[in-house]
Structure 1
Amino acid sequence: MSIQAFLTNLILRHQFKRAGRGPLNVQKARYMVNKMAKRAPPLPKDIRHTPVPARPDQQLCGAEWLSADQPQRTIVYFHGGGYFFCGLDTHRPVAGYLARVAQARVLSVDYRMAPEHVFPAAVDDAVSWWQQLLRDGTSPTEVLFAGDSAGGGLALACMVAARDRGLPLPAGAILFSPWTDLSCSGDTMRTLADVDVMFNPASLPEAAALYLNGQPTNTPLASPLFADLRGLPPLMIHASTHEILLDDSQRLHSRAQQQGVRSELHLKAKMPHVWPTMLLLPEARETLKHCGEFARQVTPNRAPTP
């Protein structure tokens, strides 16, 4: 573990986890992460940033493109945040870094969030953008989905929904600590409660309730761990052995393999939840380069339509 990771764990435990005690405060959480996002370094000059305004008449939420020079593939990225906070600003650094290491153009999707917009709004937004890319002539064989935490679950749910609607699927998916079980029934929710430096276990059922708005916690498109995964493309899953959502990744990996889906699970000890999104960590940059290699393996080397 790097010194940067050691210090990050200390800061998260004494600031983020402590601040998360007690009832869920949506506005406070949004304020905290937006304040942190303002301190993020600017995008590298070789990454082109193009905002995309929402188009309600076409059922498209806002988004933005982060593109490397001469991109060879497309990545659709769904940010994490428990379906109620974070956004384009908070995840612009990781989306931009992915664009560089994967030689890609990355579409970061600003899907609607709870409590203002409850399930299935996020899934609808994800599928609408996928349909739009297909209408624009993007070949699904040149596309990967990616996401962290709730965004990882959303990437998975979007693929399940797309398959069930008869839409083509992307060539693969990269998932960072995906939240796949909104029933919060994994054993590590309890066994790793003390060592997890970010989350108090009680906060996740609260976030799930905001998003689900009365729907069952095992609804497949909200908790894709319980979905039929057959026919999905290869998955690359990264998680920490010291996070309460570890079981969400382990059970997803096992279930995917049982249903004939190629899946690889990469675990790293003593790292915080969604650590690949934390670019100050050398472990994050190393892992994202590994993700770039995965992207090149599962997609052909051909530039997508601009």
Structure 2
Amino acid sequence: MPTTPTVEERAGCGLGARLAVWLMRRFLRPLVARLPWTPYTLRFAPLLDLAGFLMLPPRGTRVARVRGLSCPAEWVRGPGVTGVGDKVILYFHGGGFVACGLRTHRRMIARISQAADMPVLSVAYRMQPRVTIATSVSDCSNAYGWLLEEGHEPADIVVAGDSAGGYLAFMAPLHALRDGLPPPAGIAALSPFTELDIAGKIAHANAALDPFIPAPRLRDMVRTCFPGAEVTDPWLSPVHADLGGLPPVLIQVGSVEVLRSDAELMAGRLGAADVPCTLQIWEGQMHVFQIFADISREGLAAISEIGAFARAVTGLTVRREAA
């Protein structure tokens, strides 16, 4: 029976967020629009993760490398998080399927860990163009299976991710379900990429407003990361998949970003599949604004909401505030 997604429009855009939007539109968007998108140049994109050393996690964060997976991963425990108990978050970073990693997202993930009061398994899945998208999805679904093998109950696991990682936060559980594994307790997706067809994004009003992502550039991403793919393939495009077995979902998106179209479309498809979904649209915020929480109070508020969602779907009652 179809349900109607809950849409929450979060008003308010502070000076810090407005400054970040201006800087991105003035300096980063022109750079993204002009960078050559070729298999050769993209081989250097993962080096962006090295810049993550500048984004130190909050004081008191503990990080421990994980062995035994098909890709690098680490446990991140935010300040005050003991890790006692079995409730965890499984997180996949964004970066257009070609960039970023454990370092670039460690600060934000530590804040999410603290807000949820549970450890986060951060997974650096292998990326394009070195491997196929099927390998990336496999790395993520295998990480979910690994948590189950380690003794974590499905009802104690929340799968989360941003942007390309938001795509994987949907695809990993879908592939796990296909392989006979039970679903996690919930899915939290931050500005997720969910639709391989770029036409809707280019036609969306936010194509002219997004301060970071030039919509036509997404065509290059799809051509490179999904070569020859049929855009309606249910095993590659979340919005075309059978979503009926998925758990409750939280989607957060900025009101001016081009991937708002993907977030709204995915929320509608989840509702049609009778999957409980809350879509939060944050006024004036850009793509994955949560990572800019140091200058945007709305980023901290959104992280607090992610923590509350993780606690609610796993039944955890303890609450801590993000640093």
Same fold (TM over 0.5): yes
1:80-99 to structure 2, matched below 5 A, reads: 80-99=94-113
CA RMSD for the aligned pairs? Answer: 1.9
Aligned to 2:309: 294
Instruction: Choose the corresponding residue for 2:42, options 26, 29, 39.
Output: 26
User: Contact 1:78 / 1:108 at 8 angstroms: preserved in 2?
Assistant: yes
What does the per-residue CA deviation read over 1:204-229, in whole Å, with 9 as the maximum and x for residues that have no partner? 11111211122223322322111110
* Greater RCO (CA < 8 Å, at least 6 residues apart): 2
- Structure 2 partner of 1:10: 22
Between 231-240 and 215-224, report the one with greater CA deviation. 215-224
AA in 1 matched with 2:75:
W
- TM-superposed CA distance for 1:240, in Å, is 1.3
**Shift in Å, 1:270:** 1.3
CA contact (8 A) 1:188 1:247 kept: no
Looking at structure 2, the residues matched to 5 and 36 of structure 1 have their Cα atoms a distance apart, in angstroms, of: 22
1:60 is the counterpart of 2:83: no
| Percent identical residues | 31
AA paired with 2:31?
Answer: A
Uncovered stretches (5+) of structure 1, i.e. residues with no partner: none
State the shift of 1:42 in Å: 3.5
Deviation at 1:70, TM superposition (A): 3.9
Give the whole-Å Cα distance in 2 for the aligned partners of 1:62 and 1:243.
Answer: 30
Report if aligned partners of 1:277, 1:284 keep a CA contact under 8 Å in 2.
Answer: yes
Letter in 2 for 1:69: T
What is residue 274 of structure 1 aligned with on the other side?
Answer: 288
2:92 to 78, 81, 89: 78
In the superposition, relative to structure 1, how do residues 30 and 197 fare at CA in structure 2: closer, same or farther (>3 Å)?
farther
Which residue, out of 147, 152, 162, partners 1:138? 152
Structure 1 residues 5 and 191: alpha-carbon distance in aligned structure 2, compared to 1, 3 A threshold: same
What secondary structure does 1:50 align onto? strand
Partner residue in 1 for 2:260: 246
- How far apart in 1 are the matches of 2:314 and 2:151? 16
Query: Moved runs in structure 1, 4+ residues, more than 6 A?
Result: none
Aligned to 1:195: 209
How many residues are aligned here? 297
Q: Distance in 2 between matches of 1:82 and 1:218?
A: 19
Selected match of 2:165 from 141, 144, 151 = 151
**Is the contact made by 1:93 and 1:279 (CA closer than 8 Å) also made in structure 2?**
no
One of 82, 90, 97 as aligned partner of 1:69: 82
Is the partner of 1:186 in helix, strand or coil?
A: helix
Structure 1 residues 30 and 13, CA, compared in 2 at 3 Å: closer, same or farther? farther
8 Å Cα contact 1:52-1:64 kept in structure 2: yes
SS in 2 for 1:49: strand
Q: Which runs of 5+ in 2 are unaligned?
A: 1-12, 319-323
Deviations 1:42-85 (A, max 9, x none): 3321x2210124x4xxx621100012214452000000111111
The letter for the 2-side match of 1:13 is R
CA displacement at 1:100 relative to structure 2: 0.5
Q: 2:233 is matched with which residue? A: 219
Output the TM-score relative to the length of structure 2: 0.87
Q: Which residue of 1 aligns with 2:135?
A: 121
Q: Pick from 30, 48, 55: which aligns with 1:40?
A: 55
Contact 2:212–2:287 (CA under 8 A) maintained in structure 1 = yes
Instruction: Say if 1:17 and 1:274 are closer, same or farther in 2 by CA, change over 3 A.
Output: same
Task: Give TM-score scaled by structure 1 length.
Answer: 0.91
Is the CA contact (8 Å cut-off) linking 2:202 and 2:215 kept in structure 1?
no
Q: Please list the CA deviations of residues 69-107 of structure 1 after superposition, one character each: whole Å capped at 9, or x if unmatched.
A: 144520000001111111111110111111111011100
